[in-house]
Amino acid sequence: MTAVQEVPISAGGNPIGFGSMKRVEDQRFVRGQGNYVDDVNLPGMLHSAILRSPWAHARIKSIDTSAALALPGVIAVLTGKDLEGIPRPSLLGDNFAWMPTLSYDTQAVLATDKVRFQGQEVAYVIAESRYIAKDAVELIDVDYEPLEPVMDAKRAMDPGAPVIRDDKGQTDNSITDVHGHKTWESGNAISTAEAIARAEADPNCVVVTQEVMYPRVHPAPMETCGSVAHLDKVTGQLTLYTTSQAPHAHRTVYAMVAGLPEQKIRVIAPDIGGGFGNKVGVYPGYVLSILGTIVTGKPVKWIEDRGENLMSTSFARDYHMTGKIAATKDGKILAVDVDVLADHGAFNGVAQPTNYPAGFFHIFSGSYDYPDAHCKVTPVYTNKAPGGVAYACSFRITEAVYVIERLVDCLAAELGMDPAELRLKNLLKPDQFPYTSPTGWVYDSGQYEKTMRVAMEIAGYDELRREQAEKRARGEYMGIGISFFTEGVGAGPRKDMDILGLGMADGIELRVHPTGKAVLRLSVMSQGQGHETTYAQIVAHELGIPPEDIDVVNGDTDQTPFGLGTYGSRSMPVSGAAAAIVSRKVKERARIVAAAALECSPDDLEWELGRWSVKGDKERGKTIQEIALLSHSSLELPEGVEGHLDATAVYNPPNLTYPYGAYICVVDVDPGTGVVKVRRFIAVDDCGTRVNPMLVDGQVHGGIADGIGMALMELIAFDTDGNNLGGSFMDYLLPTSMECPSFELGETVTPSPHHPIGAKGVGESATVGSPAAVVNAVMDALAPFGVRHADMPLTPSNVWRAIQGNPIRVDMAIE
Amino acid sequence: MEISMKINGAEVTHDVEPRTLLVHFVRENAGLRGTHWGCDTSNCGACVLWVDGTPTKSCTMLAASAAGHDITTVEGLEKDGKLDPIQQGFIECHGLQCGFCTPGMLMTGRWILDNNPKPSEEEIREGISGQLCRCTGYKNIVDSIHWAADHPAENEVSA
Ligand code: FES
Ligand code: FES
């Protein structure tokens, strides 16, 4: 089950199974031979650009496209009115001006009546070159009647607030999910309220309340979104090259949106320059490129610029959380209650399982043992871009981990207790697994204390506390922050989880050629995770075929079986399991073939290192390669056995997997300037079995950088006029090599009991777990100033203001 | 206007609009798509190539300004079918994930080593600080450049 056994090495120098292996895909990337969407050029291809709204909220009075159309080289200009005129034979409305979101809401493809956020799509130009398309966009004249924008979630709740979704006949800014709910609750409201009330009345207990904002941020992959659409008018075949983390789900959505027959749609996600959830949604730009090719009959390319990416595509978070934690004075946690106001922007475009409208936020009870927890989430529309689930958040577990880990630190401060000691006192014990949380999640496995102690050991925790005490005495401000997180990933069990009615199970297909070489076809899609390498290792582990003999295909719906794609850290827990299972099917087919060849019963055979051999007579056996050839030969097979070894599988996970980890961050804060220097970051992840430890570490590194970015720098803020203040990399600050320390990693390995190879997934762990560690460290540094909480991002000015007792309000629009 | 420049040692001439950016000239006209584009504001460095041997953000330079100059792109790193040590270093140390920032990082990494064969971690971090990577958190990029420093190509060992 685990990777502890000796792994044989192939002739190509690779582990035939699990172990650090250099990536297959690097060969093309280091040569500049990757193939990203903007690298796709088709004969006769046209280019396109989108005119976007300068206003956050305005009525469109008129649009004059004549000057743009008159520009030489412009082929077509489309407005919302034009799209209203294109009939659509589909279930989802009768014209193209609106499209469905992944949360059963509607979103304008091009605005018809009003614009509802700055950067919203208003008109679409198709031209001979990208320069001409951009020129033409400048020539479109739109007459807007500005309306009062609603730029913060609290204002959106006001009875007198302007109504954003009047297109749906709404009279307020509330959001109703597909089940008719306007708020989303989880846990036991009554028992939690009672537990908190009891604690409030008990002199031996404390209740700490803290408002915690997780501000709006953006995944900002280095490659922006884009697509190249080509409709072959003769065959009716639509090919879409696109930045998609979920090519199959996108194909189905396009079939629904465009009313095109699904078998005629081929979605190809070539190499993707980072996703982080940004490339899960279906954006108007993709749909417009499809309309562009339908209208012109030529291939049409659309590539977003950076400002468009930051201002219009899926943002993340924007969760206004108020948490209450009750505990005994000696530090036993009793109950947690969290109330959330969720800013969803102008369209409810959240990409998450239907039955989980607040994502997996209700895992917020965390890694601790206590009976009572409850949360209530109230979503609202505002005049901001849609989205909400993105940026490696594991369906909002980032927000959940952040609130509980801030609350635990606030509690530690209140009790005057060391935050490590407080956590150790409350962490779940190994014998409690499988553990059912107060909000109903069933955690599969964990050795939390062990993992915590490994992190403390690497950090030299006690020594750090001594150093801190000495420094404080000298007037220097050093902080140590801890975050202990548990995620539930690998969505998910089909009975509970779907997106737009599509169950979250994933298909896989393994072909073994006569010479014993294999091709594995995945439904999930790498955006840099290294699937071409790790999936070959899984097959190698199961079948003993060297990984260099296995090609992995992903990202082309015509070449791969259906599945929901890669996000929410679901590749390894879902598709990784599928890879093991399909390999085992092949192994069983091989057993029958081997038995026929060896003239014995399949039951008489045993498997070892890529070979079936006769029990008690090891010499008599056949390797998987020999069996592959035999399976295609004239060898007589038993009645009902078809021959060949190829197999398919669909994996429907019985439960989520629950990776977890202990993170410790050490910072130095200059109180004069407010500058925070992250000196050290220690991360001990337990993601179960590690297929390729080198790649696991790489995933963790990237996530820690994300956490440092969000904690210290990244913010999509708005002013009260509705202007997006984070619309470029000048304003939306990403961490560079200078802000990131050299991370120190450790591991514990607690396999998932229900996953065929015990793997839990790790893609988002560090993004989920690290922000709280950084913020906790800064708050720890600022404790001598009496600061208990300040919201992210902890920029120098925000830290400086926090020290002055006046931290920045990131929950409100800026005057 | 007609613009000529040397790219990876070969003379390239195209008739383009005067406003054509160097990144577009290299990608679209010369067809070398290893150089990427990632932002509107000269912040990301996905577009870094060398102009006369110096790392340059090609999104912030007109092709016309590069006329007559010597351009080297990521496609020019491999020599005689052998990867440059900087390329090998990124493979050895898992210095890339999605690969989008990689060409720019490789060009700057090679340049750092050409000017400072034994750079410290600080020097490497400062050297790549004008370029963004969203995937790796930079640690493995630093390690990759160090690997290349420790494994100079054979022909350079004697130099
Ligand atoms: S494309 Fe971002 S700096 Fe050149
Ligand atoms: S490897 Fe993806 S941006 Fe650097």
Per-residue model confidence as pLDDT tens digits over B61-107: 999 999 999 999 999 999 999 999 999 999 999 999 999 999 999 99
Question: Can you give the CATH number for the domain in which A773 is found?
Answer: 3.30.365.10
Interatomic CA distance for residues A722 and A719, integer angstroms = 5
Please tell me whether residues B90 and B59 are part of one structural domain. no
Domain boundary among B23, B43, B76: B76
Chain A residue closest to B131 (CA)? Answer: A736
Please tell me whether residues A117 and A247 are part of one structural domain. yes
Residue B158 counted as domain residue: no
* Closest ligand 1 atom to Cα of B37: 1
DSSP letters of A610-626?
Answer: TEEEETTEEEEEEEHHH
Chain B residue closest to A272 (CA)? Answer: B98
Residue B58 counted as domain residue: yes
At B38-56, the pLDDT tens digits run 999 999 999 999 999 999 9
In chain B the first and final C-alpha atoms are separated, in Å, by 42
User: Contact A611/A622 with Cβ under 8 angstroms?
Assistant: yes
Please tell me whether residues B93 and B46 are part of one structural domain. no
Q: Which of A23, A29, A742 to mutate to probe the B interface, most B CBs <10 Å? A: A29
Task: Print the domain residue range for A563.
Answer: 26-34+505-651
Residue B89 counted as domain residue: yes
- Contact between B94 and A694 using a beta-carbon 8 Å cutoff: yes
Residue A168 counted as domain residue: no
Residue A500 counted as domain residue: no
- Contact between A274 and B97 using a beta-carbon 8 Å cutoff: yes
Residue A7 counted as domain residue: no
Residue B99 counted as domain residue: yes
What is the predicted pLDDT for the residue at B155?
A: 52
Domain boundary among A312, A334, A363: A312
Please tell me whether residues A567 and A580 are part of one structural domain. yes
Query: What's the number of domains chain A is made of?
Result: 3
Please tell me whether residues A520 and A552 are part of one structural domain. yes
What is the predicted pLDDT for the residue at B58?
A: 98
Residue A167 counted as domain residue: no
Please tell me whether residues A426 and A356 are part of one structural domain. yes
Which residue's CA is minimally distant from atom 2 of ligand 2? B98
What is the predicted pLDDT for the residue at B153?
A: 85
Residue A637 counted as domain residue: yes
Give the ipTM. Answer: 0.97
Strands A676-686 and A744-747 come out as parallel
Please tell me whether residues B16 and B68 are part of one structural domain. yes
Please tell me whether residues A418 and A428 are part of one structural domain. yes
Please tell me whether residues A486 and A563 are part of one structural domain. no
Please tell me whether residues B19 and B63 are part of one structural domain. yes
Residue B156 counted as domain residue: no
Tally C-beta pairs within 8 A across A and B: 172
Question: Cβ(B136) to ligand 2 under 6 A?
Answer: yes
- Contact between A702 and B34 using a beta-carbon 8 Å cutoff: no
What is the predicted pLDDT for the residue at B159?
A: 36
Please tell me whether residues B106 and B127 are part of one structural domain. yes
In chain A the first and final C-alpha atoms are separated, in Å, by 58
Please tell me whether residues A370 and A413 are part of one structural domain. yes
Domain boundary among B76, B99, B126: B76
**For residue A434, cis peptide bond before it (omega within 30 degrees of 0):** yes
- Chunk chain A into consecutive blocks of 10 residues (it has 815) and report each block's average pLDDT, rounded to whole numbers: 71 97 98 98 98 98 98 98 81 78 93 98 98 98 98 96 97 95 97 98 98 97 98 96 97 86 96 97 95 96 98 96 98 98 96 93 97 98 94 96 98 98 98 98 98 98 98 98 98 93 95 98 96 98 98 98 95 97 98 97 96 97 98 94 96 98 98 98 98 98 98 97 97 98 98 98 97 98 97 97 93 87
Please tell me whether residues B95 and B63 are part of one structural domain. no
What is the predicted pLDDT for the residue at A722?
A: 97
3-state secondary structure A168-222: HCCCCCECCCCCCCCCEEEECHHHHHHHHHHHHHCCCEEEEEEEEEECCECCCCC
Nearest bound ligand to CA A223?
A: 2
Domain boundary among B76, B100, B132: B76
- Contact between A705 and B137 using a beta-carbon 8 Å cutoff: yes
Residue A20 counted as domain residue: no
Please tell me whether residues A713 and A766 are part of one structural domain. yes
Please tell me whether residues A554 and A581 are part of one structural domain. yes
Please tell me whether residues B19 and B50 are part of one structural domain. yes
Within 201-230 of A, beta carbons closer than 8 Å to B belong to 219-224
- Contact between B136 and A273 using a beta-carbon 8 Å cutoff: no
Interatomic CA distance for residues A807 and A798, integer angstroms = 6
What is the predicted pLDDT for the residue at A293?
A: 96
Q: How far is B158 from chain A (nearest CA, A)?
A: 26
Please tell me whether residues B14 and B67 are part of one structural domain. yes
Which residue's CA is minimally distant from atom 4 of ligand 2? B133
Please tell me the distance between residue B71's alpha carbon and the centre of ligand 1 in angstroms: 17
Domain boundary among A651, A666, A700: A651
Please tell me whether residues B62 and B94 are part of one structural domain. no
In 3D, which of A613, A597, A596, A593 has the Cα closest to residue A605?
A613
Q: Which residues of B touch A219 (CB under 8 A)?
A: 134
Task: Print the domain residue range for B118.
Answer: 85-150
Residue with tokens 């989520």: A656
What is the predicted pLDDT for the residue at A92?
A: 60
Structure tokens at B125: 């971090």
Please tell me the distance between residue B68's alpha carbon and the centre of ligand 1 in angstroms: 22
Question: Cβ(A698) to ligand 2 under 6 A?
Answer: no
Contacts of A466 (CB under 8 A, 6+ apart): none
Residue B113 counted as domain residue: yes
What is the predicted pLDDT for the residue at A486?
A: 98
Please tell me the distance between residue A51's alpha carbon and the centre of ligand 1 in angstroms: 22
What is the predicted pLDDT for the residue at A6?
A: 83
Residue A11 counted as domain residue: no
Please tell me whether residues A245 and A97 are part of one structural domain. yes
Question: Can you give the CATH number for the domain in which B118 is found?
Answer: 1.10.150.120
* Paired strand residues for A676: A669
Residue B32 counted as domain residue: yes
Q: Which residues of A touch B75 (CB under 8 A)?
A: 31-32
Please tell me whether residues A101 and A229 are part of one structural domain. yes
Helices (H), A427-576: 448-459, 461-473, 531-543
Query: What's the number of domains chain B is made of?
Result: 2
In the predicted model, is pLDDT for residue B158 greater than 70? no
Question: Can you give the CATH number for the domain in which A94 is found?
Answer: 3.90.1170.50
Residue A747 counted as domain residue: yes
* Closest ligand 1 atom to Cα of B43: 3
**For residue A793, cis peptide bond before it (omega within 30 degrees of 0):** yes
pTM: predicted TM-score of the whole model, two decimal places: 0.97
Q: How far is A226 from chain B (nearest CA, A)?
A: 12
Residue B157 counted as domain residue: no
* Paired strand residues for A719: A814
Question: Can you give the CATH number for the domain in which B64 is found?
Answer: 3.10.20.30
Q: Which of A528, A703, A738 has the CB atom closest to B99's CB atom?
A: A528
Please tell me the distance between residue A36's alpha carbon and the centre of ligand 2 in angstroms: 13
Please tell me whether residues B66 and B23 are part of one structural domain. yes
User: Contact A359/A393 with Cβ under 8 angstroms?
Assistant: yes
Q: How far is A547 from chain B (nearest CA, A)?
A: 17
What is the predicted pLDDT for the residue at A3?
A: 45
Which residue's CA is minimally distant from atom 3 of ligand 2? B133
In the predicted model, is pLDDT for residue B157 greater than 70? no
**In this structure, what are the phi and psi dihedrals at residue A33, rounded to the nearest 5 degrees?**
-110, 15
In 3D, which of A520, A25, A503 has the Cα closest to residue B98?
A25
Please tell me whether residues B89 and B131 are part of one structural domain. yes
Please tell me whether residues A549 and A423 are part of one structural domain. no
Please tell me whether residues B44 and B106 are part of one structural domain. no
Interatomic CA distance for residues B86 and A31, integer angstroms = 11
